[in-house]
């Protein structure tokens, strides 16, 4: 008996795929759209992961935060009990240890209390910052946009003192205007009640609307004067690449242990709860979309190949009469399904990549996500893995979908097939 070799099977499968061009084009359309949708949604998920992560890192968290040991366990109940006295020495150790992996290391001092203007008082949580160092930290990689955005007024400059920036929501509550003098009152590091007057400089927004309701930023010198201390609460380490975080932290732990520093560290992902929630949500959405796409693709191919089996019953009977076995018929139809997946997957990659280019140049502004004050430009970060995912989904779905009609064709009896009209 003469067997059907693979090249012959492929030729026959290719001919049969395009026998009914209209139905084949409809099936390919579903595969192409499904593959492109998977590619572009994965690109959106990559963008959301990168964008939200970097926004948090650059506007608030840094890659690594350094505290006096015990501060994290205290849950911030008495921050002045955990101040770092030798911050300059520690910063030098950090710089020497990390070398060219380090972008900047900066000191921060946090305080809270009441802020008053014209009889209106609100709670505030202020951060004293080294302005020039923070500017280096908060700039995105392209050097053009800051993760912490001043919406009204002006930003702080490196040399000035006596000024304060307020979160956008707090600005609105106080009704501040240019030149307004704001009174801040709170406890100092020695336990005494302290007060100071600062000039309103501007309003800023971050990724968190709730934070913007209480947030204030002032020069570190003003924060130290208000708190009656020369110490700082934490050091914030910004690296040149987020992927370096784990190794950098490990190296710093070793260096601190060697120096005998009584310090502890926390990485950005341990602090980014909102980021984690969003990524879990997007992961769930991705699974739902992937399931729908696979279902649509499988249904389309099952329908196409089942109709093909019905139309080719006599042909199948003739091939079986010539000596072909059921397994060879099975292989023939599975090859047809895989061929549809290969063609659709390749076109889908091209189509998905084209959509990505268009979207990235369209500058589509998305509304702020829940709990955020910031909208953002839609971008698709398409990696090789994104294209591989779309292609694999197309081919694997096509393979799975071809099994049922292939088995149906393989089980046809020769006599029944030849009698079919």
pLDDT digits (tens, 9 = 90+) for 289-330: 888 888 888 888 788 777 777 776 666 677 767 776 777 778
Would you state the pLDDT for residue 278? 81
Which band of pLDDT confidence, cut at 50, 70 and 90, is reported for residue 389?
very high
More confident residue, 387 or 55: 387
Reported confidence tier of residue 418, pLDDT bands at 50, 70, 90? low
C-alpha 418/C-alpha 409 separation (Å) is: 13
Angle at 89 between CA 85 and CA 94, to 5 degrees: 115
Q: What region does 175 belong to: left with phi over 0, alpha with psi -120 to 50, or beta?
A: left
Long-range contacts of 115-119 (CB under 8 A, 24+ apart): 115/166, 115/170, 115/174, 115/182, 115/183, 115/184, 115/185, 115/216, 116/182, 116/183, 116/184, 116/185, 117/174, 117/175, 117/176, 117/180, 117/181, 117/182, 117/183, 118/175
Mean pLDDT of 251-264: 93
Best-predicted range by mean pLDDT (51-65, 191-205, 285-299, 406-420): 191-205
pLDDT averaged over every residue in the chain: 84
Please list the alpha-helical segments (H only) found in 312-375.
313-321, 326-362
Question: Which helix H or strand E contains 389, and what residues bound it?
Answer: helix 384-410
Return the higher-pLDDT residue of 412 and 237: 237
Instruction: Give the per-residue pLDDT at 7.
Output: 60
Is the pLDDT score of 346 beyond 90?
A: yes
pLDDT digits (tens, 9 = 90+) for 119-173: 889 999 999 999 888 888 764 333 334 556 788 888 888 778 899 999 989 999 9
pLDDT at 321: 72
Task: Please state the rounded mean pLDDT for residues 267-272.
Answer: 88
Sequential DSSP letters for 133-174: HHHHHHB-TTSS-BSSEEEEE----TT--SEEEEEHHHHHHH
Q: Residue 375: what pLDDT? A: 63
Does an H or E element contain 246, and which? helix 245-259
Please state, as a whole number, how many other Cβ atoms lie within 10 Å of the Cβ of residue 88: 10
Which of 59-68, 199-208, 331-340 shows the highest mean pLDDT?
59-68
Note the pLDDT of residue 9.
65
In the numeric block, which tokens belong to residue 313? 């019953």
pLDDT of residue 245: 94
The stretch 2-29 carries a mean pLDDT of 70
364 or 128, higher pLDDT: 128
The whole-number pLDDT of residue 171 equals: 92
- Which pLDDT value is given to residue 416? 59
Position 140 scores a pLDDT of 34
Residue 84 has what DSSP assignment?
Answer: B
pLDDT of residue 222: 93
Check whether 84 has a pLDDT greater than 50: yes
What is the number of alpha carbons within 13 Å of residue 252 lying toward its C-beta?
A: 32
Looking at residue 145, what is its pLDDT? Answer: 44
Strands 64-68 and 234-239: antiparallel
**pLDDT-based confidence at 64, cuts 50/70/90?**
very high
Structural domain spans, the chain: 6-55+275-419, 70-261
Question: According to the model, what pLDDT value does residue 419 have?
Answer: 59
Residue range 9-36: mean pLDDT, rounded = 79
* The pLDDT of residue 12 is above 60: yes
Across 349-363, average pLDDT: 93
Q: Percent of the chain scored above 70 by pLDDT? A: 88
Which range among 62-66, 315-319, 367-371, 377-381 shows the weakest confidence by mean pLDDT?
Answer: 367-371
The pLDDT assigned to 133 comes to: 86
Structure tokens at 34: 């499904």
Predicted confidence (pLDDT) per residue in 186-241, tens digit = 988 888 888 899 999 999 887 678 888 999 999 999 999 999 999 999 999 999 99
pLDDT at 225: 93
């Amino acid at each position: 008996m003469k067997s059907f070799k693979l090249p012959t099977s492929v030729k026959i499968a290719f001919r049969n795929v395009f026998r009914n061009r209209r139905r084949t084009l409809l099936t390919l359309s579903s595969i192409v759209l499904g593959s492109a949708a998977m590619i572009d949604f994965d690109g959106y998920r990559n963008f959301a992961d990168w964008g939200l992560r970097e926004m948090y890192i650059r506007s608030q968290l840094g890659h690594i935060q350094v505290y006096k040991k015990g501060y994290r366990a205290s849950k911030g109940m008495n921050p002045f009990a955990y101040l770092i006295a030798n911050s300059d020495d520690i910063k030098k150790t950090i710089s020497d240890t990390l070398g060219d992996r380090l972008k900047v290391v900066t000191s921060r001092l946090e305080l809270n209390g009441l802020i008053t203007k014209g009889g209106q008082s609100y709670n505030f949580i202020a951060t004293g910052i080294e302005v020039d160092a923070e500017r280096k930290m908060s700039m995105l990689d392209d050097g053009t946009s800051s993760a912490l955005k001043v919406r009204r007024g002006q930003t702080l400059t490196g040399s000035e003192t006596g000024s304060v920036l307020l979160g956008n929501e707090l600005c609105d509550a106080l009704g501040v205007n240019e030149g307004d003098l704001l009174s801040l009152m709170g406890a100092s590091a020695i336990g005494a009640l302290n007060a100071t007057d600062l000039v309103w400089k501007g309003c800023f927004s971050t990724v968190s609307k709730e934070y913007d309701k209480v947030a204030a930023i002032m020069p570190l010198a003003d924060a130290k004067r208000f708190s009656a201390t020369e110490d700082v609460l934490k050091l914030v380490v910004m690296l040149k690449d987020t992927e370096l975080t784990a190794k950098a932290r490990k190296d710093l732990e070793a260096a601190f242990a060697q120096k005998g520093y009584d310090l502890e560290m926390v990485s950005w992902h341990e602090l980014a709860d909102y980021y984690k929630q969003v990524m879990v949500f997007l992961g769930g959405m991705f699974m739902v979309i992937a399931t729908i796409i696979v279902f649509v693709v499988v249904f389309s191919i099952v329908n196409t190949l089942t109709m093909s089996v019905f139309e080719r019953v006599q042909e199948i009977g003739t091939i079986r009469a010539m000596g072909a076995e059921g397994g060879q018929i099975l292989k023939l139809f599975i090859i047809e399904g895989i061929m549809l997946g290969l063609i659709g997957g390749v076109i889908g990659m091209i189509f998905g990549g084209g959509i990505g280019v268009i979207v990235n140049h369209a500058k589509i502004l998305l509304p702020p996500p829940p709990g955020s004050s910031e909208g953002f430009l839609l971008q698709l970060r398409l990696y090789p893995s994104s294209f591989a995912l779309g292609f694999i989904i197309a081919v694997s779905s096509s393979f799975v979908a071809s099994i049922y009609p292939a088995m149906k064709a393989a089980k046809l009896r020769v006599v029944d097939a030849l009698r079919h009209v």
